Structure 1
Amino acid sequence: MTTFAASTLTTPSTTSLLADRADVLEAPDRYRVLTGDRPTGPLHLGHYLGTLRERVRLQDAGVQTFVVIADYQVVTDRSDTSEVAANVRELVLDYLAVGLDPLRTSVFRHSAVPEIGQLMLPLLSTATLAELQRNPTVKAEAGHAGPLSALMLTYPVHQAADILAVGGTLVPVGDDQLPHLEQTRVAARRVNERYGRGASVLTPPQALLTEAPRLLGTDGQKMSKSRGNAIALGASEDDTARLVRSAVTDSEREITYEPQRRPEVSSLVLMAALCSGRTPQDVASEVGSGAARLKAVVAEAVNEHLRPIRARRRELERQPDVVDAVLAAGLERARPLAAATLARVHEAMGLT
């Protein structure tokens, strides 16, 4: 009788959507992280404080980590791909500058692993149109003007293929992204039931909830590359100070940390706190009163924290081959895993 080994990892129970952080830190060798970014523009402070630092922590804790640069997924909602290659390079430089180590973290381009695209077809066979239409990202895109592309409709399955192809068992996410991960878990279970006849062909991954701060951009909206309201990691210190000075606040003079009542001011306070290793309450108390004083404290805290990261990035920019070397090493680790996953699925389907 054929058995389908889901992974070389000794994985924990995956009956629960949420992984236990204490267990991850106690037994890091039982997990494999898959996370990533779309190369649509420079990474910013929100990315760093929300996700990049978490990746470095997991890497340093000994968790095997894979980061996919989802270049193929750029075309889900954009027709111009002329900047993708340049953006890939910028992402890799940022990853290295913040502390991701290519000896311990594998960074690879989505388009360099064709097995991921091939895995999409059997995964799509397990999804229904109604399920895809209910996905929050798809629903949000459908609410915009213009037709919804077929690729955007299948975006959740594309993400599932990214995770499952390399045997990712742990995905760091915010609570707003849990529906995406649940879609991946459903796809894995259905492949096991339909094609593996209950055998473990694919391992449903778990979510590691991050305590990602929801920082606002300079316009008071969610910090975003597309909105032009973010502080890029690679920005100069002068540009950082200028952007912070332009940030929206409110009319109250006293500085307090009240995220629900005063979101703009509180976001600035939190930004300074996270960058200086203090509590938001301590920062607010230090500032006392005045938006100008608050912004000066924020700009100094951000620039002080990012100074060594930016210096490291400038060093890396002078090494012309470093990006290609990192991507080649990551691909060397990622593609065999994806090929083995696809072969396992094909075997379960009776195609080999």
Structure 2
Amino acid sequence: MNDIVLTGDRPTGRLHLGHYFGSLANRVRLQDTYPMYVMIADYQVITDRDLPGDIQRSITDLLLDYLAIGLDPAKVTICRHSALPELNQLLLPFLSLVSVAELSRNPTVKDEIAHSSQAAVSGLMFTYPVHQAADILFCKGTLVPVGKDQLPHIELTRMVARRFNERYGEVFPLPEAMMGERPLLAGLDGGKMSKSRGNAIALSATEDETAALIRRARTDSERLITFDETRRPEVANLLTLGSLCLGRPPHALAEEIGYGGAAALKRLVTEAVNEFLRPIRKRRREHTEADARQILAEGNARARERAIRTLDEVGAAMSL
């Protein structure tokens, strides 16, 4: 079986540099090598929030971000979760293969629950990993570019595929995770970089917005800048961010700054990030919202054809 890449995002806000170095850069590299599906998981927005917000606006922004980083709709199929009813039909047989105890042990779900805006944990949130399994397996995805925090979901997807095959016959491949250049980039407050926690630099941020965010980043009072992830995690994180954007080792950046202190560090990182984002910002301006809607309509049609074929195979295997 030829490899197929499946990846995607929830439309809950603008994509940021953590996404880029954790997963997005891999997608751009892989699109010339493998067939690829990019899922905009709009139904999954309501897993951890009572009100979804302006999903239409978020979907458009997400698609424009995809185009800005260099994803080519002639090479990849960009689709929307809610446009694929067959995908959701896969949830029933998949849920029958997973125990409540196994879902409750998922560390990513635990973390999402801890940061949820909901008063109580919904059944949708609890079964979130199985939704992701359906996202991956509807197109028989074999390669999944993810950040480190998503690895437990890939393991559960492999378990679902394995159990389905053992019970009903060989239908699904076992997907593999593909890690990005920097699997987990910390946020500017020292925690996980997240669009929902306000500590991330969006790919669509202006130069002034980027500068303001980096000015507020946590550092420490030591004048000499050194790269020490254990003793000085905030300083190390800024050096890492500058390193990724410049393509230079973080230790070399620290030596260049020397006794310049936090102000010089932030100045260097601001210049590095803005220079890195400049071509991305330019490509984003070249596309319109009408472009985004047309690309999504075409992608939805192609993805649904694939989903229908997979669901037919599942029904035949289960003798439904």
Is TM-score (shorter-chain normalized) higher than 0.5? yes
Q: Residues 148 and 184 of structure 2 are in contact (CA less than 8 Å); yes or no, is this contact kept in structure 1? A: no
1:44 correspondence with 2:43: no
Q: Note the C-alpha offset of 1:348.
A: 0.8
1:124 partner amino acid: L
1:168: which partner in 2?
A: 141
Q: Which runs of 5+ in 1 are unaligned?
A: 1-9, 11-29
Q: How far apart in 2 are the matches of 1:149 and 1:40? A: 18
Q: How far apart in 2 are the matches of 1:295 and 1:92? A: 30
**Alignment coverage as a number of residue pairs:** 317
The equivalences for 1:43-62 within 5 A come to 43-60=15-32, 62=33
Secondary structure of the corresponding residue to residue 229 of structure 2: coil
Query: Bigger CA drift: 82-91 or 168-177?
Result: 168-177
Q: Residues 167 and 337 of structure 1 are in contact (CA less than 8 Å); yes or no, is this contact kept in structure 2? A: no
1:326: which partner in 2?
A: 295
1:6: which partner in 2?
A: none
Cα RMSD over matched residues?
1.5
Q: Which runs of 5+ in 2 are unaligned?
A: none
1:157 correspondence with 2:127: no
Secondary structure of the corresponding residue to residue 36 of structure 1: strand
User: Residue 102 of structure 2 is aligned with which of 131, 148, 155?
Assistant: 131
1:178 correspondence with 2:147: no
Q: How far apart in 2 are the matches of 1:217 and 1:143? A: 17
1:189 correspondence with 2:159: no
1:13: which partner in 2?
A: none
The equivalences for 1:98-137 within 5 A come to 98-137=69-108
1:90 correspondence with 2:35: no
Q: How far apart in 2 are the matches of 1:56 and 1:143? A: 32
Q: Residues 226 and 236 of structure 2 are in contact (CA less than 8 Å); yes or no, is this contact kept in structure 1? A: yes
Query: Bigger CA drift: 224-233 or 117-126?
Result: 224-233
Query: Bigger CA drift: 260-269 or 218-227?
Result: 218-227
Q: Residues 141 and 148 of structure 1 are in contact (CA less than 8 Å); yes or no, is this contact kept in structure 2? A: no
Q: Residues 158 and 174 of structure 2 are in contact (CA less than 8 Å); yes or no, is this contact kept in structure 1? A: yes
Deviations 1:99-126 (A, max 9, x none): 0000111111100001110011011111
Q: How far apart in 1 are the matches of 2:174 and 2:121? A: 28
Q: Note the C-alpha offset of 1:206.
A: 1.5
Deviations 1:215-256 (A, max 9, x none): 222222221111111111111111111111111101111111
1:282 partner amino acid: A
Q: Note the C-alpha offset of 1:294.
A: 0.7
1:257: which partner in 2?
A: 227
From the superposition, tell whether residues 73 and 219 of structure 1 become closer, same or farther in structure 2 (CA, over 3 Å): same
From the superposition, tell whether residues 182 and 349 of structure 1 become closer, same or farther in structure 2 (CA, over 3 Å): same
Q: Note the C-alpha offset of 1:96.
A: 0.3
Q: How far apart in 2 are the matches of 1:141 and 1:269? A: 28
From the superposition, tell whether residues 227 and 309 of structure 1 become closer, same or farther in structure 2 (CA, over 3 Å): same
Q: Residues 108 and 152 of structure 2 are in contact (CA less than 8 Å); yes or no, is this contact kept in structure 1? A: no
Q: How far apart in 1 are the matches of 2:213 and 2:135? A: 35
Secondary structure of the corresponding residue to residue 94 of structure 2: helix
Secondary structure of the corresponding residue to residue 196 of structure 2: coil
Q: Residues 50 and 213 of structure 1 are in contact (CA less than 8 Å); yes or no, is this contact kept in structure 2? A: yes
Q: Residues 174 and 211 of structure 1 are in contact (CA less than 8 Å); yes or no, is this contact kept in structure 2? A: no
Q: Note the C-alpha offset of 1:74.
A: 0.5
Deviations 1:193-232 (A, max 9, x none): 2222xxx111121222333243222222221111111111
TM-score, normalised with respect to structure 1 = 0.86
Query: Sequence identity, in percent?
Result: 59
Q: How far apart in 1 are the matches of 2:53 and 2:253? A: 43
Q: Note the C-alpha offset of 1:142.
A: 5.1
From the superposition, tell whether residues 141 and 314 of structure 1 become closer, same or farther in structure 2 (CA, over 3 Å): closer
Q: How far apart in 2 are the matches of 1:177 and 1:217? A: 17
Q: Note the C-alpha offset of 1:295.
A: 0.6
Secondary structure of the corresponding residue to residue 288 of structure 1: helix
Q: Residues 22 and 183 of structure 2 are in contact (CA less than 8 Å); yes or no, is this contact kept in structure 1? A: yes
Q: Residues 268 and 295 of structure 1 are in contact (CA less than 8 Å); yes or no, is this contact kept in structure 2? A: yes
Q: Note the C-alpha offset of 1:143.
A: 5.2
Q: Note the C-alpha offset of 1:349.
A: 0.9
Q: How far apart in 2 are the matches of 1:194 and 1:161? A: 17
2:199: which partner in 1?
A: 229
